[in-house]
Chains A and B, each alone.
Chain A
Amino acid sequence: MLTRKCLEASLALGVRGYKRSLFPTLTVLKKRQDKVGVHIPQRSAVVEWDFDREVNIFCKRFSVQPGPSIRDAFRSQAFVENENEQRVKIGLEPLALSSNKQLAESGLERLREVLTTQISEIYPKLPQQGVEAVRNFLCSPESLTDVASQMGFAPLVIRPGDGEAVEPELMREAFLAVFGSIENQGDFCRRYVLIQLAGKDIMDIWHPIDVSQLLNSILKKRNQPPYEPRLIGDAGRNTLESVFYVAIYSDRKFLGKGAHETQAAAVDVAVRDALKRVFGITRAERSPFEIMALKSIYERNAGLTTS
């Protein structure tokens, strides 16, 4: 590596061969560089960076209608504290910069409200517990950080220190603060947060503890007798590859079915299938996101006529 560098340097200088002192010099320089470490500045610390333009284009890219405090939404609390500390050290008065902490808090509350209404809109039969579980999944730190990183928040967050890597907490706070400071919150939430549910099974997100009791309580509310499992098929009994096929009935009406290796496990699968049918979250029913996407396509093509 260094030999190659020496050769390149000699070629650039236009001399034949290279000085024997060059290799040891570069070796020492490399060691010193390794000791100090490579200084990578933030993206916003580079000359080609215009924060106002970046924020404007950000709003345009994600079809956001910005509120008055959109610029403050990207400024982290750590940055404000660091900035004021430095000013005090020099002997200047601290600035009255507003950070995104309060905006993020109010944004999270608002996001939870909006999500609750939107989840119950797309899954109208889902009970309160399920809606809360799905909402908590979408509002979880991991999920929000994932969305924020996909939306390219990293270079926009104003923070102290160097490097291109941003702490996930800062990114999440910036995302929530932006959500709190925009005007079309419903659309924004639907497009970038709620869409995370597309292709996911609700029963993977929400784990009800006692499914049989849950199903029975639902049946009780409907004035139906408790469910009864029936074996509707079995194969390979007393072998390693045994399969039991169980269906769930209530008042001689079919609710759901499922297969598993043992009878008890098959009943559990069948009860879960029955619950999915009751809550309207089966794969057979059309995904609410497909319906939403089709609706938006129809709206877009409303003026067009097909031959």
Chain B
Amino acid sequence: MLWIISENRAECSTMNHYKPGFFLKEGFNNGMLQHVPSLARLTFKFCKSHGSSRFMREYIESEIMDLARQCPTAVIYLKPRRHRDPVVVAEYINGHKEELRCNPFSKQELIRWINLMTTTSGRPSNQKLLKYSATSSISIQGPWNPWVYKPTEENLEELPSERLSAAKATYPTATERVLDMVKTSQPR
């Protein structure tokens, strides 16, 4: 199966800091007008007689119809071949392909892994996510200048004005607070 070999195999490293980083990107603003599921096709490769494919066979016997009903937008292939380990191959519409060898998986584990494959967006696993959010535009508010959000009533003020040149108090002064306490306190 030579066609499985990916071109950027050298990038597949176990060490996280050697992985190429990327920002989140959703194709054609997916989900804005309509959501398109990312999974394109799912291939189950298994052996009809070997013991390693036992749980895969059980899964195919009992669960595969439910899976087909669950994701009607993905093509599901079954590929029996002799005396090889069971493998699930998921292909996504962005061209990413994920292979999973499922020899040690029980049926329940298989259900969970396949649920992950059907619901994920098809992000290459050999890349690390740099941020959980990303924006495509450089700036939303535009470049800042000294008059951004300046109150327009200041245009009509005659300079020099006492109101504008007075110190701005962000919280009440001690004198004001004491006066306030005197006012609010009840006479004995």
Interface residue B79 (Cβ < 8 Å from any Cβ of A): yes
Q: Which residues from 118 to 145 on chain B have a C-beta closer than 8 Å to any C-beta of chain A?
A: 136-137, 140, 142-143, 145
- Which of these binds chain A: B26-34, B56-64, B165-173, B175-183? B26-34
CB neighbours (8 Å) of B37 from chain A are 61
CB neighbours (8 Å) of B187 from chain A are none
A190–B28 touching, CB < 8 Å: no
Q: Give the secondary structure class of B's interface.
A: loop
Minimum CB–CB distance from B23 to chain A (whole Å) comes to 14
Partner of A195, one of B33, B41, B79: B33
Minimum CB–CB distance from A237 to chain B (whole Å) comes to 13
- Which of these binds chain A: B12-20, B70-78, B99-107, B109-117? B70-78
B3–A152 touching, CB < 8 Å: no
Minimum CB–CB distance from B65 to chain A (whole Å) comes to 16
Q: Which residues from 36 to 61 on chain A have a C-beta closer than 8 Å to any C-beta of chain B?
A: 38-41, 43, 46-50, 53-54, 57, 60-61
A283–B140 touching, CB < 8 Å: yes
Partner of A243, one of B33, B72, B145: B145
Partner of A190, one of B33, B95, B137, B145: B33
B32–A293 touching, CB < 8 Å: yes
B36–A245 touching, CB < 8 Å: no
Minimum CB–CB distance from B147 to chain A (whole Å) comes to 5
Interface residue B40 (Cβ < 8 Å from any Cβ of A): yes
B28–A192 touching, CB < 8 Å: yes
A149–B95 touching, CB < 8 Å: yes
B32–A46 touching, CB < 8 Å: no
Interface residue B5 (Cβ < 8 Å from any Cβ of A): yes
A39–B2 touching, CB < 8 Å: yes
Q: Which residues from 85 to 99 on chain B have a C-beta closer than 8 Å to any C-beta of chain A?
A: 91-95
B145–A259 touching, CB < 8 Å: yes
What residue in chain B is nearest A245 (Cβ atoms)? B147
CB neighbours (8 Å) of B40 from chain A are 61, 152, 155
Q: How large is the interface on B (under 10, 10 to 19, 20 to 34, 35 or more residues)?
A: 20 to 34
Given the contacts A38-B2, A46-B3, A259-B145, A151 and B28 also touching, CB distance less than 8 Å: yes
Given the contacts A151-B28, A151-B93, A292-B33, A41 and B3 also touching, CB distance less than 8 Å: yes
B79–A47 touching, CB < 8 Å: yes
A233–B77 touching, CB < 8 Å: no
Interface residue B146 (Cβ < 8 Å from any Cβ of A): yes
Q: Which residues from 236 to 251 on chain A have a C-beta closer than 8 Å to any C-beta of chain B?
A: 243, 245
The 27 sampled A-B contact pairs (Cβ below 8 Å) are: A38-B2, A38-B5, A40-B5, A46-B3, A53-B75, A57-B74, A61-B37, A61-B93, A63-B34, A147-B28, A151-B36, A151-B93, A152-B94, A155-B91, A164-B3, A192-B28, A195-B33, A198-B32, A201-B137, A233-B147, A235-B146, A243-B146, A259-B143, A259-B147, A283-B140, A289-B33, A293-B32
Residues on A lying within 8 angstroms of B by beta carbon are: 38-41, 43, 46-50, 53-54, 57, 60-63, 147, 149-152, 154-155, 164, 190-192, 195-196, 198-201, 232-233, 235, 243, 245, 259, 283, 289, 292-293, 296
Residues on B lying within 8 angstroms of A by beta carbon are: 2-3, 5, 27-29, 32-34, 36-37, 40-41, 43, 72-75, 77, 79, 91-95, 136-137, 140, 142-143, 145-147
